[in-house]
Amino acid sequence: MSLPPATPQLLRYRALGGPRLGPWQGVKAIARSSLQLLARRKLFWVLYAFSVMIFLFYFFGQYLMVFLEQRVNDAMVRTGGVFGRTIRPEFVTKMLRDALHMDGSADTYGDFMWTEGYIAMVILAFAGSIMVGNDFQHNSLPFYLSKPISRRHYLFGKAVAVAAVVNLMITIPALALFVEYGFIDTWDYYVDSARLLFGILAYGAALTVTLSLLLLVTATWLKRTVPLVMVWTTVFVLCRLIHRWLVDQLGMSPQWRLIDIWNNMYLFGQWCFGKEHHLLRPTNQVQPPYWQATAVMVAVCVACVLYLRKRVRAVEIIH
């Protein structure tokens, strides 16, 4: 028996209901969409692959050093592969410890985070316009700001996206190296080197906060990629060259190094790692005191916050 045909009904707009979370849910959405935009760029994946290679280099470098120290008793070992040759294990161990600092020390994590930080900085220089600048450049802000969030949430969402990139490339791999070294060395390493764990987290937090704020400020100010890259090059490369020339070549006060925000973050990181100031490498470069570098870093962050506060209040945020 066939059923009678259903009574035709006019299509009607069904009122939408359902739970809606607060504006902090919007922060997650902004961060997620920013990261999605970044992930669409091939350049990001190229640089990220480079960052992963550096991590793997440190990861296996640490493993090799501990392996050679603890497991290899032979006077000479022969390496495999096409270019196999006979080497002394002490030579490799000395190179890994003294030259590359892959010994689970403050230098290991300091160098690793410094190097990875530079790659993150390059990614952010190119990604700034994609993640933030384009919203201002192409006037996409009304879409965001007419939704149930405030400008504060918008900026916080963007900062979370930057923080995710920074921590994915720097802090989390550094923590992975820390965990790895405890596994391959001794369990006591975790207890004895708790200060290093604090240093990783603090240095990572400093990089996260400072880079996020700097990116938001430069991207909301300059909007486009080329000027943004030029300003970041000035801040992170030119300032470095200038302070080296002033201090190392002209013999001026080491306080001139404070103009290099990247160096200031490095000094803060070494402070958190518990590194003695006079042991800072390279030892022939006199560095300003830790507290001064930290004070300048904090001042830069405060200036960025004040600028952003002014920016979000200004009419110009909506062109």
Binder among 4, 5, 8, 17 for another protein (CB under 8 A): 17
H/E segment holding residue 78: strand 77-78
Under a CB-based contact definition with an 8 Å cutoff, are residues 237 and 179 in contact? no
Binder among 70, 79, 150, 234 for another protein (CB under 8 A): 150
How many whole angstroms separate alpha carbon 269 and alpha carbon 275? 9
Under the binding rule (CB under 8 A), the answer on residue 6 touching another protein is no
The candidate with the shortest Cα–Cα distance to 229, out of 317, 238, 155, is: 238
Q: By C-beta, is 133 or 269 nearer to another protein? A: 133
Under the binding rule (CB under 8 A), the answer on residue 39 touching another protein is no
Q: By C-beta, is 97 or 147 nearer to another protein? A: 147
Site for another protein in 79-118 (CB under 8 A): none
- How many Cα atoms sit within 13 Å of 227 on the Cβ side? 10
At 107, list the tokens: 């230098």
- How many Cα atoms sit within 13 Å of 130 on the Cβ side? 20
Distance of closest approach, residue 188 Cβ to another protein, in angstroms? 45
Under the binding rule (CB under 8 A), the answer on residue 14 touching another protein is yes
Under the binding rule (CB under 8 A), the answer on residue 29 touching another protein is yes
Q: By C-beta, is 15 or 76 nearer to another protein? A: 15
How many whole angstroms separate alpha carbon 199 and alpha carbon 216? 25
CA distances from 148 to 125, 160, 164 (A): 30, 18, 23
The string of DSSP letters for 279-317 reads GPSSTTS----HHHHHHHHHHHHHHHHHHHHHHHHSGGG
Distance of closest approach, residue 314 Cβ to another protein, in angstroms? 10
Q: By C-beta, is 140 or 234 nearer to another protein? A: 140
Binder among 18, 81, 84, 282 for another protein (CB under 8 A): 18
Under the binding rule (CB under 8 A), the answer on residue 139 touching another protein is yes
Binder among 46, 77, 142, 179 for another protein (CB under 8 A): 142
Under the binding rule (CB under 8 A), the answer on residue 138 touching another protein is yes
The candidate with the shortest Cα–Cα distance to 69, out of 98, 90, 99, is: 90
- The one segment of 20-28, 51-59, 87-95, 251-259 that binds another protein by CB under 8 A: 20-28
Binder among 49, 75, 83, 143 for another protein (CB under 8 A): 143
Q: Is 83 helix (H, G, I), strand (E, B) or coil?
A: coil
What are the residues binding another protein (CB under 8 A)?
A: 13-23, 25-26, 28-30, 32-33, 36-37, 40, 134, 138-150, 153, 315, 318
